[in-house]
Structures are given as structure tokens and as C-alpha cells.
Structure 1
């Protein structure tokens, strides 16, 4: 006789969001406690110094560092195969391959538009608040500026000369281009293409199952990453840059909770509160990893299994957004530019601010979604308006914490654009969007029922 004895236990199982939040809080508390145990200063006994050295070497730089970095490496390991296979499957599922140009145009246009809005909002609020007025801090820095690539160079570099090298180097724009071309070729190859498409469908199921395995250990990886971060992060640094930190954080939250919902409501008519609620898992995960690329598996599952975006759209818009959508980074650049200009008492003209908006928007296309890349982009922006690049030294201390928040904003924007594009292409499941229980537990999703080419 069959019983349902396992059902109560399954129902009581904590959600992925809850487990990640517990991992985050535990990591922050442990990191703060370890920092308290290892105070800075030269007035130390030999025993205390030896204890701190052992604690730092074994626990922080040893166990926690290994767990955190292995987890991040595992996520990055999945990015290229997941993006490639998902994109190929998505293109194959489009009966009319000419739709690709229209879908791509909509996605890129929306990504660039939201980035321009983000940095414009950031500059406006920063000028209103004046976070850099009266700040006097040392400006020495070894941070080197990099020349912003021209638009022509960005376009040329999008096309791979060796796709296998692109896979090995993780060049996502080149991987996306090759996957699109390969998917179109499969769709146009008749019976042979159908057989290859079936293989990619099966590969997609296997890869997504691997994603669920990693999601089950995500809370432990998040715990280790944040414990390591908060062991070395000085809260005095945050206090010294409280106005800058506060302005960036405020604009990031406002962009995520106001700009995105307004755009979503205007272009689709959907309830934005549902969208915000369903983005919790992806946003929290992005906050923990500070990497849009590492969060692609979770973002893609959120878009296709919670928000109702068909796989044919989500498999294209999500990886593309992780590569070129840098709204959170643009916000940091806008506030930082105003902040550094005020610190060095340099006045910027309206033309300078327009240059900042255009440079940051276009530079986002050729910038990978990895931790810390915002500082490289900021150096490009500062160069364009004649501000000293060494000003980055003023904000680099708190950039890691803000990087986590702006990554959460970036993946929210990726999902928002995916919903808009899917709705406009009639590749959207509104019942799934409205269902509060859709995809609630990512680890229980049946990947054998993924959208497949028709």
C-alpha cells in the first residue's frame, strides 16, 4: 500500500531563497566576528599575533577561501555550455529564423535605453545631494586607465575567429554570436538538423540538472564568500564614504523598484509587484556572487519557470543581458563621476555629462559581467571628461559591497527585458506569470519538460 508519508517533509523543506538568506546572514556574522578577533595594530603579544596568523591562514585564507572560490569556479564552469546549448535550442525552436533580428533589436534597444536612464538618474541625484562636497582624502592609486574601445572595434570583436578559443576564454559575446549562427544552420538543415536539435534538447536537460545540483550547495558557497569578504572589509571605510555609498545604494534600489516596474507596466500592462516578488531568488543570488555571468543559470530559470518567458526568448535575452546590460554599473559610474569631480573641485559642463552617459552606455556592450569590472569602465569614463583616474582610490574600499548590489540590479533588468520581449513576440505564458507557486523550488523542477523545438 502506497502512502504519502514524505509529503509533509517535502512541504516543510525550506525554499532556496530562505537557505541562501541564512547563508548570507551567517557569513556576514562570522566575518564580522573574525574581524573582531583579528584587530589591526602593532601593539600585539606574540601569542595573539600567532593566533591571528593561524586563524587567518587556516580558516579565512584556507577553508572559507577554498569553499567560496570552488563554488564560484563551479558556477563559471556552467556559464559557457549553458549559454551555448540554451541559445542553440532557443534558435531551433523559432519556426521563423528571421525573427532573430527583430528579437535582438528589441533586446539590445531596451538594454541600452535602461542603461542610459540609469546613469542619467544617478547623475541627477548625485548633483542634487553632492556626496563629494567637503571630502578630503588621499588620492594615491595604482589603478591604471584603459582606453575605451571604439564602436567599430566592439562590433568586429563580437565575431569569433576561433569559436573554441571563445569558449575557453569565456568571451560571451562571441559565444552568443556563434550559438546564434549554429542554431540558424541547424534550423535550416532539414532532417539532419532535427537530429542535432534533439541532441541539444537532451544536453539542455542534463545541464539544467547540473544547475539544480549546484543550487543545492549554493547556501554554503554564499556563506563562505560573505564570511571571507566581511573578514577584510573595514566598516570605518564605509563610514568615511557614507554619502557616496548612500547615494549609489539609493539610486540602485530606486532603479530596481521604480524604473523597472514603471517600464514593465507601460510596455506590457503586467502587474510589476508580481515581477519584483518573483525576482527574489535571482536577486539574492546575484548579490551573493557579484557576477551577472555566474548568475545566468538562476536568472534563466527565474525568467522561464517563474515569469513565463518561453525558452526560445529567455535563452537569448538573458545571456545577452548578462553581457551588455550594466545598469547597476552605470549608476555607480554616474555617482562616482560627480563625486570625484566634487572632491577635486572640478566643474563638469552639460556636454561632459552627456559624454559620460554615452561613454558608459556604449562601453557596457563590450564589458564582461564579472566582479570589479565597473572600476575598469569607470576609468574609461573619467578619462573621457578629463577627471583624474586616481580618484578611484577614494571609492575602491566600498566598491565590493556596492558591486554586489548593482549585480542584483543588473539581473533584475535582464529579466524585465526578457518579459517585455517575450510578451511582444507572443512567447509569454501569462498564467505562469500570475501563478505565485510557479517554479517556487528550483531544485524540484522537471527539466524533461523544457520548451523544445516544435
Structure 2
């Protein structure tokens, strides 16, 4: 028995050694040039320099040089990698996101609020686009007349609705072409709007089936995880893709050709800036959220969207921003963010088609009626899903011009600067896709405000930590919308 008067043996003090061991176990911050953000900035500079060099050495579309073709190949290869993941990513992401609603209390209310905010922000954005186009008037003063064979063309809503009906299970299509040598090439294509319709139907059906659909839903979640891992690898190649995309745009079009459309580009970026730096911060402020934290949190998605020009390609980062930086619950974020990546396009489906339609009308000296303005607004709000989250907004512009009865020939004028404006369009898209889930979560009192206001970490660096955090979130009780 130990005497009560005996003094206890003092513990050996090894705190310094333990602290040193813990410090050595911590991952050391990587050098600045190995981080994703600086890599993108370096790629922008390199792409611009190589594009100017290719242009200076005689590269044109008619007389391509090896440098110009190399940049074009590099850029198109990166876009092809992104496109290759679109169909399976959209299908399994939407199916899994709908299935995740089963874990969310008051899921119907969350879904309805999300769609309502998508529509409201799209409406405000397209009105901003119309106002900018009317004030700046980017197409006025050209002296051009409408094409002699031009007649007003209308695309009825019946035609639009027919486009929603899948021709096959996933809306896959293929076109064949015969080269001068006689070789036949088949180019596969897809209608992501139809993929979206099918995936929503399958997801809702799986919810209705109940327990019997669990193996299918588990398989869908597993496939989605694999696809997202592959897409993550592709995203890490974004600096290389940036060099090719920007370099090819500069080499192919040059500053002289682009200069004829400078006013249009300025109008587009003015409209995008009003949405990104006025509308979105105002919405965050009205919900009691820090504007500074919003911009610092959404920056990783914005910078990737800017260079990748693909909301779908940016989807994993946008979802991480919503969950990790903004504190949106995983169950709700996994529904709202994938849905937003395919349907919420304030840049591509609101600002761009509104200003582009006014530019085409002004370019050809066509006076728009109030009814045509109303059609532009209506199509932009209801037809945003047609942009499908992939690169470019040609489908949306076609729908807008056709419905408003404007010459489709005007689209050719805009293709030269499309890569330039598409960067800003997509950056604005993903900024809104991350914001709306945060606003709805704040309204429903399920937003983790401590995480929203916390110091930002580089979510492009700590993938394993994010996975661990997501597993921790998944072990919590289902989200409750109070």
C-alpha cells in the first residue's frame, strides 16, 4: 500500500518531444508553384504568350503552324476529356442526388425552395442582361442590313417540349461523315437535356420503389464516386488545358478580329460583373452572411470554372465549396449542387443570350418589340436546362434567337469571341450554383455558420481530409429542415 504522505513520482516531462513529433507529422505546406491557383495563373500567362507567338509566326485558320495546331490539340483534348465524363456524371449524380433526398427531412420543401431561387436569380440576371444590352448597345452603328433571305422564324414551345423526349435511354446520338478520301467517321454526341430527364425519372422511380432499389442506389453512389475520382484527375490537368485553350483562341482569332467585338465582350463582362459582384453579394448580405467569406469560399470553383468553361467539369469543386467552405449539409448539397450544375446558368442562359440577342438585333438594324423582349426573358428563365452544363451556350443562344425571330446568321459573329466570354459565363454560373444551396440552408436553419465563417483552407490541396470530413458528416443523423 502506498503511504498517503508519500509524494507521487513526478511524471517525466516529454512535452517538447511530443510537440516536435506532432509538428513533424503535420503535412508541410507545399511550395506556392505546386498549388492549383498559381498553376492556373501561370498557365494563363504561358497560354497568352504562346498564342501571341503562334500568331506572330504566321498561324491562321487557313495556314496553321505546328505551334498553333499543337495548342489547338492540347485545348481540344482537355475538353474531350471533360466531355467524356458528362453523360455518366450527369446520370449518376442526379440519380444519387434525388436518392439522397430520402435522408433529408422536408425534402420536398427544400427542393421547391431551391428551384424557386434558381428561377428568381435567373429572372433578375436576364433583366440585368437586357438592361446592359439596351444601355451599352454593343451592335449599334455597323450599318449592316438583315440577310436578304431572312424571314422571321419562330420556334414554338411544342418544338422545345419535343426536345425533352429522349430518342433512346440516355439521349445518345451519332452523326456520320465521309471524308474526301472516302473514309467514314462516326461522331458520337448526346443531348444532356434528355439525359437529365431520364436521370430524374430513374431517381424518382428508385425513391418510389423503396427498399428494393437500395442495391441499385448503392451501385449508383459507387459509380458516381469512381467517376468523380477520374474527373478529379482531369481537373488537376486544368493548367495544361488552360495553356491550350487560351493559346489557341489568341492564335486563331488574334486581337484584330476580336477587336471588332470588343464592345460586345465588354457588355457581357459588365453584365456578369453586376451579377457576380452586386446581385450575389446582396443576396448573401440579405441572408446575414459575410460577403467576404462568400468570395473567399467560392473562389476555388470560380477560378476552375473560368478556365475549364464547364459547370459539369467544375461540379466536384463546386460541391466541395458548398459543403466545406459554406457549411451546407452533405445530404442537401449533393442534391442542390448537381441540379444547379445542369439547370442554373445565370451566365450562359441569362446574361449571355439576352445581350447576344440585343447585339444581333442592333447589328442588323432590327427593332425589337416588347413581345420579343418578353420572349427573350421567358426563354432565358425556362430554357436554362438546355445549356446542359457543358462548354458553350450555343443551344441556348439558338433557342433565344429563334424564339425572338432574329437572324441565326448573327451567331457566326459571336463565335470568334466565344472562348473569351465563355470563361466569364461559367465562372458566374458556378458562383451562383454554390450560393443558392447556402441561402436555402440558411433559411431552413441547417447551415453550419461556424464552418461558413471559419478560416479558409485550400480545398484543392487536402482531398483526403475532405473525404474524412464527408464520412463524418455521413454518420450524423439525417438533415432536418426546421
Q: Report the TM-score when normalising by structure 1.
A: 0.82
Residue 51 of structure 2: aligned partner: 31
In structure 2, which of residues 125, 138, 146 is the aligned counterpart of residue 131 of structure 1? 138
Residue 404 of structure 1: aligned partner: 423
Matched, 1:82 2:89: yes
SS of the residue corresponding to residue 74 of structure 1 reads: helix
Q: Distance in 1 between matches of 2:215 and 2:413?
A: 57
Matched, 1:60 2:68: yes
Tell me, yes or no, if the aligned pair for 1:291 and 1:369 is still in contact at 8 Å. yes
In structure 2, which of residues 298, 305, 309 is the aligned counterpart of residue 290 of structure 1? 309
Residue 413 of structure 1: aligned partner: 432
Residue 163 of structure 1: aligned partner: 169
Q: Distance in 2 between matches of 1:145 and 1:64?
A: 40
Question: How far off its partner does 1:205 sit?
Answer: 4.0
Residue 71 of structure 1: aligned partner: 78
Matched, 1:327 2:346: yes
Greater Rg over alpha carbons, structure: 2
Deviation string for 1:48-79 (max 9, x for gaps)? xxxx96xx453332x43333333222223333
- What does 1:285-364 align with in structure 2 at a 5 Å threshold? 285-329=304-348, 330-364=350-384
Question: How far off its partner does 1:310 sit?
Answer: 2.4
Tell me, yes or no, if the aligned pair for 2:376 and 2:404 is still in contact at 8 Å. yes
Deviation string for 1:283-341 (max 9, x for gaps)? 22222222223322322222223222223222222232232223213222222333333
The farther-off stretch of 177-186 and 419-428 is: 177-186
Question: How far off its partner does 1:235 sit?
Answer: 0.8
In structure 1, which of residues 363, 372, 379 is the aligned counterpart of residue 392 of structure 2? 372
Q: Distance in 1 between matches of 2:196 and 2:261?
A: 39
Deviation string for 1:172-200 (max 9, x for gaps)? 44444544554455556666555555555
Higher helix proportion: 1
Tell me, yes or no, if the aligned pair for 1:282 and 1:408 is still in contact at 8 Å. yes
Residues 238/141 of structure 1: CA separation in 2 closer, same or farther (3 Å cut)? farther
Q: Report the TM-score when normalising by structure 2.
A: 0.78
Tell me, yes or no, if the aligned pair for 1:248 and 1:335 is still in contact at 8 Å. yes
Q: Distance in 2 between matches of 1:28 and 1:144?
A: 41
* Structure 2 unaligned blocks of 5 or more: 1-16, 174-187
Tell me, yes or no, if the aligned pair for 1:212 and 1:442 is still in contact at 8 Å. no
In structure 2, which of residues 289, 297, 300 is the aligned counterpart of residue 281 of structure 1? 300
Q: Distance in 2 between matches of 1:141 and 1:427?
A: 59
Residue 233 of structure 2: aligned partner: 213
The farther-off stretch of 305-314 and 246-255 is: 305-314
Report the aligned-residue RMSD.
3.6
In structure 2, which of residues 242, 263, 267 is the aligned counterpart of residue 247 of structure 1? 267
Tell me, yes or no, if the aligned pair for 1:176 and 1:320 is still in contact at 8 Å. no
* Structure 1 unaligned blocks of 5 or more: 42-51
Aligned length: 438
Q: State the structure with bigger RCO (CA 8 A, min sep 6), 1 or 2.
A: 1
